Amino acid sequence: MVITVPLVIFLLLNFVLIFLFLKTVDKRQWLVGLLSLILTPVIYFYVFYPFLNIISSYHHQKHFNSDNWKENPGLRYEMIDQMRMSEDLFGISSREAQDLFGKAEWYTWDETAKQHDSTKWNYGLGIEPGAFNKMKSNAVFIFQKNELVAIDTYEEQLSYEAEPNN
């Protein structure tokens, strides 16, 4: 555990509030101090910290790994930021890209040509964790002259469609 200034401030504030509350219940100062020392970390680690993890949308960043990309499509959002900043992927051919990322999950629709654009490969990145997240992330790999030139991301609203009955 890393001790930070906000953690120390929270623990002190928590200690003071518990101390003041318990002082109204019991007049034995040694017992109040002991209970405050015991309850402060318990409240922090079992109430405050889990609640903070539920409402925040922080997620770990990971380096790109071809096997993880193919096997865990729901966790691709952890790799995409590193991939967009990496210059190693740009300039690879579409054949190399297919070996690394697998076959495109879908192609972007070109409204002017009224057909799919095979130079824009789309992949689902999964849903970032968080209690209030209502968006799913996707990535577009853009090719020009058979070389990867850009990786863009976009989000779309989550939809839960009922599956048709057979």
Residue 164 lies in a domain: no
Alpha carbon separation from 97 to 62, 80, 120, 143 (Å, rounded):
19, 15, 12, 10
pLDDT tens-digit series, residues 93-128: 989 988 988 888 888 887 887 888 888 999 988 887
Q: Do 124 and 82 share a structural domain?
A: yes
Q: Cα–Cα distance between 40 and 10 in angstroms, integer?
A: 9
Q: Do 145 and 92 share a structural domain?
A: yes
Residue for token digits 């054949």?
95
Mean pLDDT is lowest, of 14-28, 65-79, 88-102, 138-152, for 14-28
Q: What is the pTM of this model?
A: 0.63
pLDDT tens-digit series, residues 4-13: 787 778 778 8
Q: Do 83 and 47 share a structural domain?
A: no
Residue 139 lies in a domain: yes
Residue 61 lies in a domain: no
Q: Do 121 and 70 share a structural domain?
A: yes
* Count helices and strands in the chain by DSSP H and E runs: 6, 4
DSSP codes joined into one string, 71-111: H-GGGTHHHHHHHHH-SSSTT-BHHHHHHHH-S-SEEEEET
Q: What range defines the domain where residue 127 resides?
A: 66-157
Residue 60 lies in a domain: no
When divided into structural domains, the chain yields a total of 2
Q: Do 97 and 151 share a structural domain?
A: yes
